[in-house]
Structure 1
Amino acid sequence: MMNFNKKCFFVVSGLANELGKIVAIEFCKKFKAGSVVVLFEDSQPDLARTKAAIYSLQNQINVICCNIDWTQGRMDFFQNHLDEILSDLNRDDFEMAFIVHNEGAIATDVVCEPKNSDLWLHYVQISLNATVGLNQAFLNTFKDTNKLVVNLTPSGQIIPFQFEKLKCSAKKARDMYFRAMAAAEDKVTVLNYRPGFLESFETNNQFDPNNNISEVQAIKVTLKAKKPYVKPMESVHKLINTLEGSKFTSGHDVDYYSC
């Protein structure tokens, strides 16, 4: 059984959608006092709202916000942030190091087709390279601590889909990175979690100026629409139950609809 009632160093990336915010808040309800939560996002308002919600729990968890540019997301970039945060802390005091990857949130709302190589490279930098950079810095920071790594990839972004060649390619590569990492790293438990088709996406449509179609519209014209929509809170609770029950093999995928 995985126990989160520990002094934890917790990293959450991606607070621009409701899923990331709820992940941060719900897990913070379980940690011991003295835990540290580090939030990475490129939106100060989203960081501030999540920080305020965690402090409202009044459970003596320290929240640190990092307002960053995902396009700068190399390993040394994130390593500098983590080293600075930990400069006044003893990393050996933490019983667990835990990271949830939800970065690349722009991809959850907009259909993104590869119009040219620059667009492709920009998207891959945000949704794949930055993820790898942050994760490598995290692993390097806590070499001797038991670590948990969770990668969130919405269910509609990991299967072939006619409107999302770029998105599916990057997300599938990201999924494989975490699978391979689970096989290669010691003291690391890895979960690729697919949170389902979230209700919050229905009311958060953005439109790509090049093709004028939102992901929600696109999903509704495919068989994927036959899956029921999920409330973000329900999906996060399913994630917590999966982790606490250890109902998965490290490195494998767990889908909301199958667990």
Structure 2
Amino acid sequence: MSSPARTDLGRALCIITGASRGFGRTVAREMSRLLKPGSALVLTARSVDELRALQAELAESEAGRAGLLVECVVADLSEADGLESIVKASKVAFSEDMDHVLLVNNAASLGDVSRYAKSFTDMAEVDSYLSVNVSSSLCLTASVLQAFPQRPGQLRTVVNISSLCALQPFRSWVLYCTGKAARDMMFRVLAEEEPDVRVLNYAPGPLDTAMQTVARSRTADPDVRKSFSDMFAQGQLLTCEASCSKLMKLLLEDGYTTGAHIDVYDV
């Protein structure tokens, strides 16, 4: 018999990357409503204005008025000092009575989808993409787990915002598919190595975001481009709010197999 789902995420420290827009911004909003008083959000992105606007919005929310601490860290995840600044801010925001440390690895870029795989001969270009989308996720996760080691009575959760592209190849999307597949495997390995950490690869589905706009206009492969255009025209794109509610359901029920890849349509 399964235990009943929780109604909140506890008194938690929540770190969210790519929080300034799109799905990350929605995760920050939705998560703030599920945190007990005394919790803290550490929001990071490269866009200072959008981060500050979100911080102000959350400060005026019910959670903000109840004492939710919201810290913003403007950081480039591909730079070591950017990762260090996130961990430093997280340590400052943390308090000993917190019973949950939750990291959401959301930040990601689409990469150049206007070309096919055989055109990527510049190693520096590929390395730059993988640094932002793969290396930074591993290094930030490792740094957070070291900064907040296992303690009795404390839950640690790591969420990777994944994609169908982690499992299925899309022509002219070699960078994005490679990055998403690598991240999924990275967190599956983490789940094997750290059984006390709850690890989730969540694929949020085709979201109505700026990334989808780029996909419809820049994708080189005509069939892939048409599939995205048709989804948009037929109203099949999901709102960030609809997908995020499924992620929150997974986290509250906490019944998934650690390390699993779960698609929004499976929830």
TM over 0.5: yes
Structure 2 regions of 5+ residues with no counterpart?
none
Counterpart in the other structure of 1:13: 17
Deviation string for 1:50-109 (max 9, x for gaps)?
A: 21221121231111111012220x4x752454235424x6643211000111112x32x8
Aligned residues with identical type, % of pairs: 23
The C-alpha deviation readout for 1:168-214, integer Å capped at 9, x for no partner, is 1121011100011011114210110000001224774389xxxx724
Deviation at 1:221, TM superposition (A): 2.9
Which residue is equivalent to 2:83? Answer: 78
Equivalent residue number for residue 60 of structure 2: 56
The TM-score normalised by the length of structure 2 is 0.83
Partners of 2:136 and 2:212 in 1: CA distance:
27
Contact kept in structure 2, 1:196 and 1:255, CA below 8 Å: yes
Tell me which residue corresponds to 1:140: 146
Match of 1:169 in 2: 178
Q: Which residue of 2 aligns with 1:69?
A: 76
- In structure 2, what is the equivalent of residue 197 of structure 1? 206
Aligned-pair distance for 1:20?
A: 0.5
| Contact kept? 1:154, 1:194, Cα under 8 Å | yes
Conservation of the 8 A alpha-carbon contact between 1:156 and 1:197: no
Q: Residue 123 of structure 1: which of 120, 129, 147 is its match?
A: 129
Which amino acid is 2:218 matched to? I
Quick one: distance in 2 between partners of 1:151 and 1:139?
Answer: 14
Equivalent residue, structure 1, for 2:218? 213
Residues 109-118 or 175-184, more deviating = 109-118
169, 182, 193: which is aligned to 1:160? 169
**Uncovered stretches (5+) of structure 1, i.e. residues with no partner:** none
**In structure 1, C-alpha distance between the alignment counterparts of 2:74 and 2:94, rounded to whole Å:** 24
TM-score by length of 1: 0.85
The 5 Å alignment of 1:237-252 reads 237-252=245-260
Give the 3 Å change call, closer, same or farther, for CA 258–81 of structure 1 in structure 2: closer
Alpha carbon RMSD of aligned pairs, Å?
A: 2.8
Q: Decide whether the 8 Å contact of 1:112 with 1:167 is kept in 2.
A: no
Mapped to 2, the partners of 1:215 and 1:100 lie a distance apart of 31
Match of 2:158 in 1: 149
> Is residue 233 of structure 2 the alignment partner of residue 231 of structure 1?
no
AA paired with 2:257? Answer: T
Of 46, 69, 75, which residue of structure 1 is paired with 2:50?
A: 46
